[in-house]
Structure 1
Amino acid sequence: MIALPIPLIVSLVLGFLFVRAWVRRDRPRLFLALLAACALQGVVVSLCQHYGLNGLLAVQPVTATVIPPLAWVTLQTTAIRAPDPRRDLVHLAAPAFTAFCVLFASPALDVVVPGTFAVYGAAILVALRPGTDSLPLAKLEAGDLPALVWRAIAAALILSALSDVLIALSHAAGAHWLAPLIVSLGSSLWLLAIGALSLSQSLDGGEDAPQEAPAGASEPDTTLIAALESLMEKDALYLDPDLTLARLARRLRVPAKRLSAAVNRATGENVSRFINGFRIRHACSRLATGANVTAAMLDSGFNTKSNFNREFLRVTGATPSDWIAQKHAKPPA
C-alpha cells in the first residue's frame, strides 16, 4: 500500500484547488500565485524530509520566504490599493536575502526565516487594524468577512514562525526526533490554511464585530452622509454587487478614509453595513411583491447566499424565510 507524507498530501490538495481555480478563472492571478507557492513548498518539504533529497535543503528556506511577501502584496493590490511594480517588487528582497544567507551565512537562517513570517504576519494585522473599511477595494457585499479571512492568513504566517521556534527548542533540548515531526505537521497546517483561505470568495471584494457608537458627527460629516444617501437613492449604486468603498469615494470626490470615518461617526456602522442596509431594504420590497429569496438576493446586489442571509438577519432580526412567514401570517382573532 502506498503511503504519502502529510505535506505531499497537502500539496496534492492545493494543486487540485489551483487547477480548479485556474480552469474556472474565478480568482485573481495573485491568489493563484499564492496557492501555487504553498503547493510548491509542500512538495519541497516532502522531498527533503521524507524522500532524502538533501540537495533541496538549500532551496527549502528560499521557497518558504516567497510566501509571506506574496501574501502581503496580494492583500495590498487586491484590497487596499492599485498595483505598483516599483513598490511591490521590492518585497523580492526577502527571498533574495534568504538565498544570500543560504550561500554565505547559513546560521542566520534560524532568525531570517521565522522573522520573515512573523514580520509579514504582523504587518497584515496592523494593516487591518482600522477594521473592514481598511480594505477599500473589497466588495462591500462581503461585509466583515474579507478582514477576518486576512487575519486568519496572518495568523497562519505567525504560526509558521512559532513552529520554527519550536524546532530550535527541540534541538536545544536534545529532542532531535521532534524536528521532522514539527516540520511536517507545522508546515502542513499553515500551508493548507493559507492555500484554502486564499480561495475564499469573500476576498473578491463568522460573527460580525460589534461597532462603536457614533462619536459625534460634525456638520461636514452630516453633509457627506446626505450626499451618500442621495447618491444611493438616485443611482441605486447598492444594486451593483461589485461596489467598493473606493468606487463610492470616487463618486463623491472624497478620500476613502474620509468617507469611512464620516459614516462611522454619523451612524456607528462601517460602510459595508451601511450599504448593505440599502440592499436588504430593497430585498424586503422584492420579497413583499412575491419574489423568491434567490431572486430578491440577486436583484439586491448580493452574489453570495451566506452574506445575504447574515446581513438580512442583522438588519431585520429574522431570516428571509421567517420574514416572509411573518408577512403572510394572519393577524390573531
Structure 2
Amino acid sequence: MMVFPLPILTFLLATVAGALLWRVDFGQPRARHLFAGFFGIVAVGALLVGLRFGYGIHALIPLQRALPLFGGPLLYLGFASLTPAAKHQIPLHLGFAAGLAIAMQTFGWSLLDGTIAASYACYSAAILWLWRKGPNHLIHARLELAPSLHRWMLWAAGFLIAMLLIDTTIAVSFALRRNEEAVQIISYGSVGLIALMIAAIVTAGSLAQARPAPQAASPSDENQLEQAAHDFLIESQLYLDTGLTIERLAKRLHVPMRNLSAAINQSKGMNISQYVNGFRLDHAAKLLRESQTSVTDIATQSGFLTRSNFYREFQRRYGKSPAAYRQAPPDTHGPT
C-alpha cells in the first residue's frame, strides 16, 4: 500500500493551481470562478481517490463517484463564459450534472461509468466546437489573453479525452475483478495529472502577474486609442457581429467605455454606432464589387440587423443604392 499516494500530491497541486487561477483577470469574472471550480473538483476528487486506495477510507465513495460529472461542464463553461452565448448556460449545464448525480445516488451506480464517459466525450466535443470559432469569438476575454485561451481549448479537450480513456480502462479493470491493475492505472494516471497540475501552476502564476497591454490600458492620446480600436476591428472583423456594442469593444480593448467613446468622437467626429457602421459599409462595398451575393445577404453578412438600415446608411455614404453601386464603373464607386 502506498504510504503517500500520488493522488494526494495531485490534490495539493490542483489546490495551488485553482488558488492561482482565482487571481487571474480573464476579462469576465465568471471565467475565473469556473476555472478555479474545475481545479477544485480535480483536487477534491484526487483527495478522495487517495484516501480510498491509499488509506482504505471508503465512507466518501458516493461523492468521489459523482464529482467527475462536474469536471467537463466546469471546464467547458469556463471558456463558454467568454463567448456571446454564455448568459444562461451555467445553471443549465451544472443543473444537469447535479440531476445526474442525484439520479445515480437514488437509482444506483450501475450506469455511472458510461455516464461519466459520455460527459467527457460530449464536453470535449463542445470545447472543440468553441475552438473552431476562433479567438475572436471570445469577446469577453481580455484582448491579449484571447489567443492563449484559444490554444488552451485544445489542451482542455485533450485532457477530457485522456480522462475518458483512463476512467474507462479503470472501470473495465474493476469489472474484470483486476483490482491491483486498476490501482496501478490510477497511479499512472496520477503521474499524468501531476504533470498537468505543474504546467497549470506555472501558467496560472504567470497570468496572475500579467497586466493589460500598455497601449490598451490607459492611452493618453485619443488618436492612439482610436487607432488601437481601428486596428483591432480590422484584424478581428468583430464589426460583422450584429450584437457588437461599445461595452463589448471597450472590454476587448480593456479601456473604460467613456474613454473609447470620447476618443472616437474627438478623433473622427462620430459616435460608436457610426464608427462601426463605417467598417460594415466598407465590407459590404467590397462584397458588392467582388461577388454576386444578393444585396440582402450582403447586408446580413456585413453586420446590419435590418435591410432598411443598411440601405439608408449605404445611400448616405456612397450617394447611391447598393444595386446602383454594384452596376457603376469602378472609378465612380466613391468612398472606400
Residues 157 and 190 of structure 1 are in contact (CA less than 8 Å); yes or no, is this contact kept in structure 2? no
- Is the radius of gyration larger for structure 1 or structure 2? 2
Q: What residue is the counterpart of 2:10 in the other structure?
A: 10
Question: What does 1:80-91 align with in structure 2 at a 5 Å threshold?
Answer: 80-81=83-84, 83-84=86-87, 86-91=88-93
Q: State the secondary structure of the residue aligned to 2:179.
A: coil
Q: State how far apart, in whole Å, the 2-side matches of 1:132 and 1:232 are.
A: 26
Q: Deviations over 1:263-322 (max 9, x none)?
A: xx9xxxxxxxxxxxxxxxxxxxxxxxxxxxxxxxxxxxxxxxxxxxxxxxxxxxxxxxxx
Residues 102 and 109 of structure 1 are in contact (CA less than 8 Å); yes or no, is this contact kept in structure 2? no
Q: State how far apart, in whole Å, the 1-side matches of 2:130 and 2:40 are.
A: 24
1:134–1:42 distance in 2 versus 1, CA, 3 Å: same
Question: What does 1:189-268 align with in structure 2 at a 5 Å threshold?
Answer: 189-190=192-193, 193=196, 196-197=199-200, 199=204, 201=207, 235-237=226-228, 246-247=248-249, 253=276
Q: TM-score, normalised by structure 2?
A: 0.56
Q: State how far apart, in whole Å, the 2-side matches of 1:69 and 1:232 are.
A: 43
Q: CA RMSD in A?
A: 4.1
Q: What residue is the counterpart of 2:216 in the other structure?
A: none
Q: What residue is the counterpart of 2:33 in the other structure?
A: 29
1:182 to 181, 185, 204: 185
1:195–1:39 distance in 2 versus 1, CA, 3 Å: farther
Q: State the secondary structure of the residue aligned to 2:89.
A: helix
1:99 to 91, 95, 102: 102
Q: What residue is the counterpart of 1:52 in the other structure?
A: 56
Q: TM-score, normalised by structure 1?
A: 0.57
| Structure 1 segments unaligned to the other structure (5+ residues) | 206-230, 266-333
| Structure 2 segments unaligned to the other structure (5+ residues) | 27-31, 213-221, 239-247, 253-271, 288-336
Sequence identity percentage: 25
Q: Deviations over 1:222-250 (max 9, x none)?
A: xxxxxxxxx98771326999x99551797
Query: Is 185-194 or 99-108 further displaced after alignment?
Result: 185-194
Residues 80 and 130 of structure 2 are in contact (CA less than 8 Å); yes or no, is this contact kept in structure 1? no
Q: What residue is the counterpart of 1:149 in the other structure?
A: 152
> Quick check: 1:64 aligned with 2:41?
no
